[in-house]
Amino acid sequence: MRLGTYRSYDVGDSTLAGRFQELAQYRHLLMNFVASDLRARYRRSYLGMIWAVLYPLVFSAIIALVAIRIFQQPAETYVTYLITGFVVWDLIGAAISGGTMSFLVGEGYMRQYRLPYIIYPLRTVSSLAVNSAFTSIAAVVAIVFLTPQSISFYWLYWPLVMLMLYLFAIPLAVLAGLANVRFRDFQHAAGLAVFLLWYLSPTIVIREVYDSPGLKPFTDLNPFASALDIFRAIMTERAHPTLHDVALVVGATIVLWILALLALKVEGRKLIFYL
């Protein structure tokens, strides 16, 4: 598709710095969108955001009750394993499935105002990140009561690790959102793909399974598995994340951002016409 030139001197220029400057103007909007999404998610519930803490605790307890008999794991460590998996997956897995709708739910704004397109997937992922931060409280509660020996100074890495997961999740949502605007079949396929990825990553099934000869080569290259390993290293294993895991997540994040920005540049020219 050929391109014309549009210059509006009321907004930033088209360089990357200009784009960031333009995006920064909408930081209040983004924060209010996130608050609105969270209110909508827990609307008319008495407990509100407490559900973000309570749900993973109860969910993990239920699964643990059954699974400890199958995997013969000590219940305490398995519950904290599940909850930490919950925190990570609720951000990076949900970024794909939730990201599919990110542009479509922004249609009303896109048809009226010239906002930077990335604000829509940013909204999705930021809401998920705040929710995951609350879910982290569930992880802390479980650890304090079940495996207090896991409490360590490595918890100080938590903000950094959450930021890392957030940056990893954003381009996933951008790509999923763009793909879904182009092909509406994508949201259905993405649901299945995320489900498959969930099974192929150590979220619920014990970690040792993923080191079995059949799965290990895939696990070693799966940034989702590394993201889970990083979070568990600092939260439950009193350890630095391994260099391999960090390199894999950072590398995947960089590649995904390049792909997402390119896709946004190319598809952004036509996006409004596909809504």
Partner 1 sequence: MISSLQDRPASIEATSVQLDYPVGSLVRGSIKAELFSLFGAKDRAPKVDFVRALNTISFKVESGERVGVIGKNGSGKSTLLRAIAGIYPITGGVIEVYGRIQGMFDISLGFEPEATGRENILYRGLVMGLSPAEVRARQDEIIEFADIGEFVDLPVRTYSSGMSVRLAFAISTYMRGDILLLDEMLSAGDAGFVAKAQERMKNLLSSAKIVVLVSHDMGTIKNVCPRTIWLDSGRVMMDGPTDEVVAAYLSKFVPAA
- Residue whose entry in the numeric block shows the structure tokens 């360089």: 15
72 touches partner 1 by CB under 8 A: no
Tokens of 117: 């397109």
How many residues touch partner 1 under the rule CB under 8 A: the total is 44
| Stretch 171-190 residues interacting with partner 1 (CB under 8 A) | 182-186, 189
Out of 46, 112, 156, 192, point to the residue binding partner 1 (CB under 8 A).
112
- Residue 8 vs 72, nearer CB to partner 1: 8
Choose the stretch contacting partner 1; rule: CB under 8 A; options: 72-80, 105-113, 148-156, 238-246: 105-113
Contact of 122 with 216, CB cutoff 8 Å? no
Tokens of 70: 């199958």
Q: From CA 239, how far away is CA 248, in angstroms rounded?
A: 18
Measured CA distances, 183 to 87, 101, 115, 178, 248 (Å): 30, 12, 23, 9, 29
263 touches partner 1 by CB under 8 A: no
Out of 14, 32, 45, 242, point to the residue binding partner 1 (CB under 8 A).
32
Residue type, 119: I
33 touches partner 1 by CB under 8 A: yes
- Residue 6 vs 153, nearer CB to partner 1: 6
Q: From CA 62, how far away is CA 56, in angstroms rounded?
A: 10
Q: From CA 82, how far away is CA 205, in angstroms rounded?
A: 9
Residues that bind partner 1 (CB under 8 A): 1-13, 25-26, 28-29, 32-33, 36, 39-40, 43, 107-115, 182-186, 189, 268-270, 272-274
